[in-house]
Structure 1
């Protein structure tokens, strides 16, 4: 499996030297995951950061009513982890699984620290990625907590058209914070 997609992605944030490239290639481990494969179990520390070369991953949890809530979906050129658990190596309340066969790269938490401390440039790129991740999380919270069903569907169509073609109604409903029946009843508005 190839690290070139990750290197190319990171170069959008700054130059990557040959030394930094070798560090990335050494610490990011290739992994092939099958649909429905669990990569991080609920209640276990999230000790990996995943980069998706191809396929789809998701982070989800089950709420107190037994409803599955998808917090995040990652596809090609996206990272996925439970950031709080990854940073602090604490238990997390969600599961990370593969929802379409995937080719991934992952880095373990302890190796991530080594990589970040090996280069001010890589640390700067990480800071930029964190800002983007935080911005996306704020937007996601706004969508889930304040948007009407019609606005959520418009948001899905405008900002995530790739998900519409790739995922089933149940996953899309979970991503939008609604039940499948509500999604199916309203999806013709798309």
Structure 2
């Protein structure tokens, strides 16, 4: 069953009725994606929310210096979208791509709105999930902008340990907001 992981995750936040489960199965479309496949193009509205059954996705942008910056990775049991663009279908500066072959579920903006209106319980669960992701992003923002290199590496090791073995130095450096060379020269600190 393609929707089992999503349903089980949502059940951690509350009971899911048979009707709600049916809506999940109807609205969330299963898709296989390949490494390097782009799911959302830069400068186009982010009209989808992704749930990852397996594999790895990332959201990234190119900064004013032409440097690639990874905002977030999402792996099994996680969601990924550009929430600002998704909410109002505005253009976004991010690209969402597959980093490791993935089995995902996606829901488009219109179906998401229908899904949210279908149940107050689902809307409540969504609010709880948003809080969880907001906490994660606040912690990442703090790490990127206030931590020294050693603390950034500790943040990676403690909060994103699965990424260390799955990603190359370029992607990890992009995630930490540092150069690949700086990351490679200090990678040994991850194993302290």
Taking structure 1 as the reference length, the TM-score comes to 0.99
1:148 aligns with 2:111: no
- Residue number in structure 1 paired with 2:121: 121
Distance in 2 between residues matched to 1:116 and 1:182, nearest whole Å: 44
Aligned-residue offset at 1:160: 1.1
Aligned residues: 190
Q: Distance in 2 between matches of 1:126 and 1:169?
A: 34
How do 1:88-167 residues align onto structure 2 when only pairs under 5 Å count? 88-167=88-167
Partners of 1:13 and 1:83 in 2: CA distance: 20
Task: Give the deviation of 1:37 after TM superposition.
Answer: 0.3
Equivalent position of 2:55 in the other structure = 55
2:79 is equivalent to residue 79 of structure 1: yes
1:59-78 CA distance string (max 9 Å, x none)? 00000101000000000000
- Show structure 1 runs of 5+ residues with no match: none
Residues 1:23 and 2:1 are matched in the alignment: no
Q: Distance in 1 between matches of 2:88 and 2:108?
A: 13
Residues 171-186 of structure 1: matches in 2 within 5 Å? 171-186=171-186
Structure 2: distance between partners of 1:102 and 1:56 = 6
- For residues 78-120 of structure 1, what are the alpha-carbon distances to aligned partners after superposition, in whole Å with 9 as ceiling and x for unaligned? 0000000000100000000000000000000000000000000
Q: Which ranges of 4 or more aligned residues in structure 1 deviate by more than 2 Å?
A: none
Equivalent in the alignment of 1:46: 46
- Calculate the TM-score normalised by the size of structure 2: 0.98
Q: Secondary structure at the match of 1:181?
A: helix
